[in-house]
């Protein structure tokens, strides 16, 4: 049976779920002869309202999902002042509305607030979200009319910029870490301004190295095009330090055995080293193909494979 491993960047349109993008890719792979057993998964859910980058992992590359989800994400969101909804976006029930004018809200008033929402902050997720509450998704409980109390949790906002302001709307460009809810960000800014706010539109332009300008529309994913659209899995770890290993070392890695790689200058004294004095290190072959993601021990100069991405040659 044919097999395939790699990554695909989709430009998700409004109205489509992230799961539907996965289904489209799965169907194209099946029709192209890859069978029903090939694994397909996405990295970071986008609500149906939102548009933009969804990264799809295929085959063995599905093990890279977590690494991709950890990468910074870039969004552009628009928010309507003076409106509060049950979902914190325009798809929800309107809970309150109020008039907003320049006498009470100005561009500078928003700009002055942004530093308070930048860096390491505490954020309460929307009640209509996929956060687990006592083993159930919060949105399922909210749809049942049950009261949902969610605790604040730490998120990282790397960059926050006001890019447009025309009452009653404002636009933000956001670069943030995993787990950040842009809806909550707009809601909380609206609360601080004293008038409330709800998200109207959202577009994700990048997840790490995966950008909108390289994304394909769902209708472009066909049985005829699918193989040419899949990018090598090494793209998912382009941000990590790497070393080239020999063919002999590659055979050891295939057996799950640690190998000696010596000193990796990029990691010497690096903040990437954790309390166990280990860090992620990518192992590549002479053709610059991804062999494994490993745990590098700086004190030993050794790399232990955690995820292997190429099968050894068969006799």
| CATH number of the CATH domain containing 42 | 3.30.2350.10
* Predicted local distance difference test score (pLDDT) of residue 300: 84
Contacts of residue 57, defined as CB under 8 A and 6 or more positions apart, other chains included, come to 6, 7, 40, 41, 42, 43, 63, 64, 65, 68, 233, 236
CATH of the domain at 291: 2.30.130.10
Same domain, 228 and 258: no
Same domain, 196 and 139: yes
47 is catalytic: yes
Same domain, 85 and 182: yes
* Predicted local distance difference test score (pLDDT) of residue 274: 54
* Predicted local distance difference test score (pLDDT) of residue 104: 83
Backbone torsions φ then ψ of 180, nearest 5 degrees: -80, 135
- Identify the segments of the chain with pLDDT beneath 50: 141, 312-315
> Please, which residues bridge with residue 210 across strands?
207
* Predicted local distance difference test score (pLDDT) of residue 223: 95
281 assigned to some structural domain: yes
**DSSP classification of residue 126:** P
93 assigned to some structural domain: yes
For 75-88, write each residue's pLDDT tens digit.
999 999 999 998 89
CA atoms within 13 A on the CB side of 182: 28
* Predicted local distance difference test score (pLDDT) of residue 148: 66
Cβ pair 306, 292 in contact under 8 A: yes
* Predicted local distance difference test score (pLDDT) of residue 96: 93
Same domain, 49 and 79: no
Distance, in Å, from the CA atom of 14 to the CA atom of 275, rounded to the nearest integer, reads 43
By residue range, what is the domain housing residue 15?
6-71+209-234
Contacts of residue 95, defined as CB under 8 A and 6 or more positions apart, other chains included, come to 84, 85, 86
1 assigned to some structural domain: no
291 assigned to some structural domain: yes
How, if at all, do strands 278-284 and 242-244 pair? parallel
314 assigned to some structural domain: no
Same domain, 247 and 275: yes
250 assigned to some structural domain: yes
* Predicted local distance difference test score (pLDDT) of residue 65: 94
Same domain, 96 and 130: yes
Distance, in Å, from the CA atom of 95 to the CA atom of 104, rounded to the nearest integer, reads 21
Same domain, 40 and 128: no
Distance, in Å, from the CA atom of 295 to the CA atom of 304, rounded to the nearest integer, reads 5
Same domain, 153 and 82: yes
Same domain, 146 and 294: no
* Predicted local distance difference test score (pLDDT) of residue 267: 67
165 assigned to some structural domain: yes
Q: What is this structure's pTM? A: 0.89
Same domain, 113 and 188: yes
Backbone torsions φ then ψ of 117, nearest 5 degrees: -110, 20
Catalytic residue among 47, 88, 89, 188: 47
271 assigned to some structural domain: yes
Backbone torsions φ then ψ of 280, nearest 5 degrees: -75, 135
Same domain, 124 and 176: yes
Same domain, 85 and 189: yes
Domains in the chain: how many in total?
3
What would the two tokens of residue 16 be?
A: 């489509």
């Amino acid at each position: 049976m044919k097999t395939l491993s790699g990554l695909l960047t989709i430009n998700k349109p409004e109205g489509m779920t992230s799961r539907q993008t996965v289904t489209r890719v799965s169907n194209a792979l099946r029709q192209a002869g890859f069978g029903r057993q090939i694994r397909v998964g996405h990295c970071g859910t986008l609500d149906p309202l939102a548009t933009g980058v969804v990264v799809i992992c295929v085959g063995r590359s599905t093990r890279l999902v977590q690494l991709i989800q950890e990468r910074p994400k870039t969004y552009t969101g628009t928010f309507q002042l003076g409106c509060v909804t049950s979902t914190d976006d325009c798809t929800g029930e309107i809970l309150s509305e109020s008039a907003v004018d320049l006498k009470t809200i100005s561009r500078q008033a928003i700009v002055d607030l942004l530093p308070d929402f930048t860096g390491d902050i505490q954020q309460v997720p929307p009640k209509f979200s996929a956060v687990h509450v006592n083993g159930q998704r919060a949105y399922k409980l909210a749809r049942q009319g049950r009261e949902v109390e969610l605790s604040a949790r730490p998120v990282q906002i790397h960059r926050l910029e006001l890019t447009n302001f025309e009452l009653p709307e404002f636009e933000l460009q956001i670069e943030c870490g995993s787990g950040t809810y842009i809806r909550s960000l707009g809601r909380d800014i609206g609360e601080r301004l004293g008038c409330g706010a709800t998200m109207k539109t959202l577009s994700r332009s990048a997840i790490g190295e995966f950008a909108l300008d390289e994304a394909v529309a769902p209708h472009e994913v066909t049985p005829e095009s699918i193989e040419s659209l899949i990018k090598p899995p090494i793209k998912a770890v382009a941000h990590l330090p790497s070393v080239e290993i020999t063919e002999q070392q590659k055979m050891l890695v295939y057996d799950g055995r640690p190998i000696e790689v010596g000193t990796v200058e990029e990691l010497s004294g690096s903040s990437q080293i954790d309390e166990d004095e280990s860090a992620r290190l990518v192992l590549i072959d002479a053709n610059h193909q991804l062999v494994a993601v490993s745990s590098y021990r700086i004190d030993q100069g050794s790399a232990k494979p955690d995820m292997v991405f190429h099968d050894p040659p068969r006799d």
